[in-house]
Amino acid sequence: MSVRHTWVVREGGATTSWFDVRWTFADGARIDALAVLCGDGVRVEDVRAEPALSLDDLSVLAEWLEDPLFEACVRPLADRPAAAPRRSRPARPGGDEERRLVAQEYRAAREEGADPVLAVMRATGHGRSRSLRLIGRARDDGLLPPRRARR
């Protein structure tokens, strides 16, 4: 199992962290999950599995996640010294270059069958609303096809 810290948002005194979790089994089966650590709890936002999980397996997934995610995520965060709140966002260009980056990430995610909005969020470090606005601007600039076919 691997756990990768994807991004952090600090607002006021609260911190919300997102983690990509991947299990790869010896028989070739794979489970990918997006887990969110917010306050005291861990929530699963997205799960993809090959082969697909049954409802019983999904109900047990939270138990599978709990201990490894706690060990990988909560303890390292608790062991860190307190720091001044700041937004953790990679340095990215703005304007035309940012819209080109958004279009590139969006198209790459679509080709891979992944969530394109989530890919843009990861690439830019912005939240969902800001990422959707950037995708819209990239569409307006002709870097992405229109969302719906015009009638």
Give 51-68 pLDDT, tens digit per residue: 888 887 777 776 677 666
Q: Is the pLDDT of residue 86 over 50?
A: no
Q: Is the pLDDT of residue 141 over 70?
A: yes
Residue 87 has a pLDDT of 45
Q: In terms of pLDDT, which residue wins out, 149 or 83?
A: 149
Residue 73 has a pLDDT of 56
Q: In terms of pLDDT, which residue wins out, 151 or 81?
A: 151
Same domain? 15 vs 72: yes
Residue 106 has a pLDDT of 92
Asked if residues 17 and 36 have their Cβ atoms less than 8 Å apart, the reply is yes
Please indicate, yes or no, if residue 55 is contained in any of the structural domains: yes
Taking all residues of the chain, what is their mean pLDDT, rounded to a whole number?
Answer: 77
Full-model pTM = 0.45
- Using a 10 angstrom Cβ sphere, with 0-12 exposed, 13-18 middle and 19 or more buried, the burial of residue 134 is buried
Please indicate, yes or no, if residue 89 is contained in any of the structural domains: no
Where a domain ends, among 79, 107, 130? Answer: 79
Give 99-121 pLDDT, tens digit per residue: 888 999 999 998 988 888 888 88
Print the domain residue range for 129.
95-140
d(CA 99, CA 143): 8
